[in-house]
Amino acid sequence: MSNAFKTAFKLNALMEEKQMLQKARKESHMIVKCKFCKAPIRWLITIKGKKMPVDGDSRPYWLKPKGSKRIVTTQGEVFACEYEGDGKENGHGYVPHAASCSRYR
């Protein structure tokens, strides 16, 4: 392969990846059923571009660096946190479904 061809090939792959991510981000607003437990879930895209199943409803979270729980924001950030806390919550996010699925694993 010539270098120009390689570059074009790489660019094309990058664009396809971007389009796939954009499509996936749009789909993250859709609620679907978990194929294991049938609970309502949605697929969020993490900042690393990975699809992650989360519970259908958002919930408040309290940031805690060593918290035992995880929360995923609609921007795809994953934070260590607790689902209960003192004072005002830090925000609303989604619980990774792997943690709450009754049938998964």
Binding site for Zn ion (CB under 5 A): 34, 36-37, 39, 101
CB of 7 to Zn ion, least distance (A): 43
CB of 63 to Zn ion, least distance (A): 26
CB of 31 to Zn ion, least distance (A): 13
- Cα–Cα distance measured from residue 71 to residue 80, given in angstroms and rounded to the nearest whole number: 7
Q: Which is nearer to Zn ion, 62 or 94 (CB)?
A: 94
Q: Which is nearer to Zn ion, 34 or 44 (CB)?
A: 34
Strand duo 59-63 + 69-72: pairing: unpaired
Q: Which is nearer to Zn ion, 36 or 43 (CB)?
A: 36
Sign of CA dihedral 21, 61, 80, 65: positive
- Cα–Cα distance measured from residue 78 to residue 16, given in angstroms and rounded to the nearest whole number: 25
